[in-house]
Amino acid sequence: MAATAGKSPVSSSFVQKLNPRTSYCYQASYSTINLPRRLRRIHSQACNNISSSSDQVPDSVNKQAKAIELQKLIDDDSRDSSISLPRPLTSASLSNLATEGSRLRVAYQGVRGAYSESAAEKAYPNCEAVPCEQFDTAFEAVERWLVDRAVLPIENSLGGSIHRNYDLLLRHRLHIVGEVKLAIRHCLLANPDANLEELKRVLSHPQALAQCENTLTKLGLVREAVDDTAGAAKFIAFHKLKDAGAVASETAARIYGLNILARDIQDDSDNITRFLMLAREPIIPGIDKPFKTSIVFSLEEGPGELFKALAVFAMRNINLTKIESRPLPKQALRAFVDSVKNFPYLFYVDFEASMADQNAQYALGHLEEFATFLRVLGSYPADTGTP
């Protein structure tokens, strides 16, 4: 297979269609609106009630927000009303958007004390971290102008990929604008009047429970999976459980008034989660620092097709840092591509190069010649620091 080194490189603006089957979409206009400074929790219903018009401008959010109805975060019989917890976004709070400051609002999945909150604050210091009920809600919050960014996990060094977020990257039109790596240090938490001998069960996210398998087995605790680690801490605190503990962060213990019975209970100390930073608009890639580019593509069925796809990077000495295959039905792509053929898998690839680099442009131009679908998810600075 010969390289097409003589052809013109793909434009870094990525607004041209390369052929009827595929297209790159890469823009560079930025817009933000201002939301209240107080921490807010976004519920999925809030996003669903906002207009889905893609050309909606920030000024119309005030009108649309009148239809938002949000359920309460904390029951009236909350154990400790002095705990500072985020409240739902309301139409009243959205009415003052224009008068608020310009503090960046960053959505994350979970409740206060989640590892995702720490990742959001590491990615955007001094931001207003906004908790969301589900991953879907965080994507929707960015698209509906409720927040400026989202920081969501994509893979863990022990537990592997967060498949749900790979699927959501394709379903939504957000762009990856950065990444941040966070060291995960699990603690065993319990209410102040509970002790280790009384515990019979432990609650946490399934991945957190799996990462602490050996410790929990030695303690003889029954594992119960919940949506997130901090949510487990909140649950046992608000329900004053004495027979149950939670695997969560030290921050969650402080927020919910829990005791730390054991620290660093993960089986492997090298426990790192990689998070993606998402925005409505892409950034302009550069060459002044290490960059990564994330793409998703599909191929015709047949022997050697994936080999050919990966070879376009190898022959240009471009290093791949990750490849993930995900099955997806054709109808899920109809919003993006008009001529998608039947295919069972999509391939998500991260590689170490900026789209400002001609080698990367040539590689994608070459891949486009035989891919049935190709989309650039983002070209962004790599996190080369200490997690």
Give residues with Cβ within 8 angstroms of 135, minimum separation 6.
109, 152, 162, 164, 165, 168
β-sheet bridge partners, residue 324: 348
| Long-range contacts from 51-54, C-beta under 8 angstroms, 24+ separation | 54/173
Q: Residue 38 is encoded by which pair of tokens?
A: 């107080």
3-state secondary structure of 369: coil
Neighbours of 268 (CB within 10 A): 11
Q: Residue 384 is encoded by which pair of tokens?
A: 């080369």
Start-end of H helices in 89-228: 91-94, 115-123, 135-143, 163-171, 206-211, 213-219
Q: What are phi and psi of 76, to 5 degrees?
A: -65, -25
Q: Are 290 and 237 in contact (CB under 8 A)?
A: no
Q: How far apart are CA 195 and CA 361, in angstroms?
A: 59
Q: Are 42 and 147 in contact (CB under 8 A)?
A: yes
The two beta strands, 160-161 and 149-156, are antiparallel
The residues assigned a catalytic role are 273, 275
Residue 36's Cβ-side half-sphere holds a number of Cα atoms within 13 Å equal to: 18
**Letter string b/e over residues 150-173, b meaning 16 or more CB atoms within 10 A of that residue's CB:** bbbbbbbbebebbeebbbbbbebe
Q: C-alpha distances in angstroms, 345 versus 19, 203, 332?
A: 21, 34, 12
Residue 343's Cβ-side half-sphere holds a number of Cα atoms within 13 Å equal to: 20
CB-neighbour burial class of residue 75 (10 A; exposed 0-12, middle 13-18, buried 19+): exposed
